Amino acid sequence: MQQKRLMTIFAIISVDLLGFGLILPLIPFYAGQFGATATLVGLLIASYAVAQLVGAPWLGRLSDRYGQRPVYWSCCCSSCQSRSLAAYWARS
């Protein structure tokens, strides 16, 4: 039972990281269409690492307090909402 849970979490996180890994090489091209400089593109990509540096300990504390499952699902739902908003804004 534990192995099945770990494989489910591994699969979901792998798909999430795969999605980010597919987008990362395209960011300079998209940013260039909006008139971004190379410095701004670098800052955009570096902001992901900074968000991980700040967010990981905070989410770890929340996970210790409330449990892994509620924190995980709230992260998945917020990720889905943010990507839906990004898709909506990209169309307009």
For 18, list phi and psi in degrees, rounded to 5.
-65, -40
Q: What is the pLDDT of residues 28-39, one digit of tens each?
A: 888 888 888 989
Helical H runs in 24-67? 27-33, 38-66
The pLDDT tens digits of the residues spanning 56-81 come to 899 999 999 999 889 989 988 998 89
| pTM for the whole structure | 0.56
